[in-house]
Amino acid sequence: MLTAMLDDTMNTIRTVIRDTRPTLKRQETGTVLQVGGGIARVSGLASVASEELVRFPDGVLGVAINLEPDVVGIMLLGDSDRLNAGIRVTATGRETDAPVGDSLLGRVIDATGRVLDGGKPIDIHERRPIERPAPEIIERSPVTTPLETGIKAIDALIPVGRGQRELILGDRQTGKTSVAIDTIINQRGKGVACVYCAVGQRATSVAKVVETLRQHRALEHTLVVVASDDDPPGLRYITPYAATTMAEYFMEQGRDALIVYDDLTRHARAYRELSLLLRRPPGREAYPGDIFFIHSRLLERSTHLRPEFGGGSLTALPIVETQAQDISAYIPTNLISITDGQLYLSPTLFQKGLLPAIHVGKSVSRVGGKTQHPSLRAVASDLRLAYSQFEELETFARFSTRLDKETRATIERGRRVREVLKQTEHHPLRASEQAGILSAVNAGLLDDLPVDRVAEAEQCVQQALVAKLPELCDRMDRGEKLHKEQWEKIHGVIRQALAGMQPREGSPG
């Protein structure tokens, strides 16, 4: 009897022991050996993973990036002022991640989701890893739809398609940011979610961009992700990856998204800073050996997905700064080889006031041509030819006063093309507005007009077309192809509009 009772009790104890799961989670802690320059060297985190998030006592986060047998190199994502040797570090067991969702649009945040615009906290329902594999080749589809920038020189001559990666490069202060911002502004009402990722810029420059977007009602469809120049290099380094994760969310929902990286020169410098502090071997220009990979794995994530995979797209406009117009420097050549084309902004054109300062000869779009609006394609080839012939002749013409009639005509036409390609910032144009004036200059309708009246003529032409041929304008904007008769109708209206221009005082007419 007693034995039976004992047996019962023992069985119950055994069941309890078997079914009880320990609720304790193993949490590894380490000790800081050294902090400085945005890096901490930590001992005791023997099983921490690469890219794992770690936490310092007052909430500062870090990412483990250098795993050595006894010491782990951590890049800090926050202020290191209150960190010192001897404090404890906890491994979180979490990959570095970023918030995603529609609620982010219209906001200014950092890579970890911290609100920087002084607004209310953001409702975050989901976080995704900042490093994600790029879509497989089988998931990708050719680029088929244009991404309209609203800038005549780009949409007509160097068109960009949705899902393309087009590099914007140029020296300091040549209008790189301006081209990207105008493109974002032009997406208003077009259903393209935009992400502007600012890396290593001064906070005042970023504030200016945010203000411009707000003024042009473009902030509603844009998310701004910022790591400014006084943030630690670790945060500057991870920000583009986090911003890409945020943009991919829209692509993966089958929508179209656009991401601007402003700029990747500063991103590369942040990575160089980290690598040197971590004592990785320096290579060319002191950049570490994997500098190509940090940009290729970032830009490979932009693509156009096949319909079976949702059909969404992510277009990337990475910006890179050149020094003394050297586009063959290390980082620019890397990026040129990764992207599907480049827009080169020339300081010489900028100084001459030819804005936007896009150098047509040095710019190229490797995939966008197939997506161009038919109305713009109809004018593009003649325009490019007229312009390149003119560029060649202009230099030569300076040395010679006696030019034959044909050369003079090419130069006069070229001058007008150049004038038509000028555009003020933050003033994007619809496809019909662009096609109208460009086809007018192609057809020689502006040849008799003084060059300094071309801008005025453009206004007249645009107003006349909208007033008299609204239906044809709609067709052009929708991307329909126009017949010869329809073009003739357009030219008729343009001729009338130009004839009706007020003669300037003191001029014969």
Instruction: Please pick, from the candidates 173, 323, 381, 459, the single residue that binds ligand ATP as defined by CB under 6 A.
Output: 173
Q: Could you say whether residue 186 binds ligand ATP (CB under 6 A)? A: no
| Type of residue found at 172 | R
Least Å distance, CB 410 to Mg ion, is 35
Residue with tokens 């080749």: 137
Give the one entry of ligand ATP, Mg ion, none that residue 23 binds, where binding means its C-beta sits below a cut-off of 5 to 8 angstroms depending on kind: none
Instruction: Please pick, from the candidates 120, 172, 405, 483, the single residue that binds ligand ATP as defined by CB under 6 A.
Output: 172
Least Å distance, CB 226 to ligand ATP, is 14
Is 82 one of the annotated binding-site residues? no
Give the one entry of Mg ion, ligand ATP, none that residue 32 binds, where binding means its C-beta sits below a cut-off of 5 to 8 angstroms depending on kind: none
Sign of CA dihedral 103, 109, 113, 115: negative
41-75: burial string, b at 16+ Cβ within 10 Å, e else: bbebbeebeebbbbbbeeebbbbbbbeeeebbbbb
Give the one entry of ligand ATP, Mg ion, none that residue 175 binds, where binding means its C-beta sits below a cut-off of 5 to 8 angstroms depending on kind: ligand ATP
* Pairing status of strand 61-67 against strand 88-95: unpaired
In 10 A of CB 388, how many CB atoms? 13
256-274: burial string, b at 16+ Cβ within 10 Å, e else: bbbbbbbbbbbbbbbbbbb
Q: Which residues within the stretch 314-343 sit at the binding site for ligand ATP (CB under 6 A)?
A: 321
- Annotate each residue in 282-321 with x if it binds ligand ATP (CB under 6 A) or - if it does not, as one string: ---------------------------------------x
**Is 366 marked active-site?**
yes
Least Å distance, CB 399 to ligand ATP, is 31
Is 170 one of the annotated binding-site residues? yes
Give the one entry of Mg ion, ligand ATP, none that residue 303 binds, where binding means its C-beta sits below a cut-off of 5 to 8 angstroms depending on kind: none
Q: Could you say whether residue 204 binds ligand ATP (CB under 6 A)? A: no
Least Å distance, CB 181 to ligand ATP, is 7
Closest CA to 111 of 16, 219, 18, 227: 227
Q: Could you say whether residue 176 binds ligand ATP (CB under 6 A)? A: yes
Closest CB to Mg ion among residues 177, 434: 177
Count, residues near ligand ATP per rule CB under 6 A: 14
Q: Could you say whether residue 424 binds ligand ATP (CB under 6 A)? A: yes
Closest CA to 358 of 146, 162, 144, 149: 149
Closest CA to 151 of 180, 193, 190, 192: 180
Number of H helices, E strands in the chain: 15, 16
Task: Output the CA angle 485-488-490, nearest 5 degrees.
Answer: 115
Spatial contact of 302 and 260, defined as CB atoms under 8 Å apart: no
Instruction: Please pick, from the candidates 229, 412, 425, 477, the single residue that binds ligand ATP as defined by CB under 6 A.
Output: 425
Least Å distance, CB 429 to ligand ATP, is 12
Q: Could you say whether residue 177 binds ligand ATP (CB under 6 A)? A: yes
Is 34 one of the annotated binding-site residues? no
- Tell me the residue ranges of DSSP E strands in 29-109: 29-36, 39-43, 52-55, 61-67, 71-76, 88-95, 97-100, 108-109
Stretch that binds ligand ATP, among 70-78, 165-173, 297-305, 495-503 (CB under 6 A): 165-173
Distance between CA atoms of residues 144 and 142, nearest Å: 6
Stretch that binds ligand ATP, among 28-36, 110-118, 167-175, 325-333 (CB under 6 A): 167-175
Distance between CA atoms of residues 61 and 41, nearest Å: 14
Residue nearest to Mg ion (CB): 177
How many residues are given for the chain?
509
In 10 A of CB 404, how many CB atoms? 7
211 burial level (CB within 10 Å; 0-12, 13-18, 19+): exposed
Least Å distance, CB 153 to ligand ATP, is 10
Q: Could you say whether residue 313 binds Mg ion (CB under 5 A)? A: no
- Annotate each residue in 143-182 with x if it binds Mg ion (CB under 5 A) or - if it does not, as one string: ----------------------------------x-----
Q: Which residues within the stretch 348-367 sit at the binding site for ligand ATP (CB under 6 A)?
A: 355-356
Q: Could you say whether residue 186 binds Mg ion (CB under 5 A)? A: no
H/E stretch holding 238 reads: helix 233-252
Q: Could you say whether residue 212 binds Mg ion (CB under 5 A)? A: no
Catalytic residue among 366, 377, 415, 495: 366
Distance between CA atoms of residues 87 and 287, nearest Å: 31
Q: Which residues bind Mg ion (CB under 5 A)?
A: 177
Q: Which residues are catalytic?
A: 366
Residues at the binding site for ATP are 170-177
Residue ranges in contact with ligand ATP by CB under 6 A: 170, 172-178, 321, 355-356, 423-425
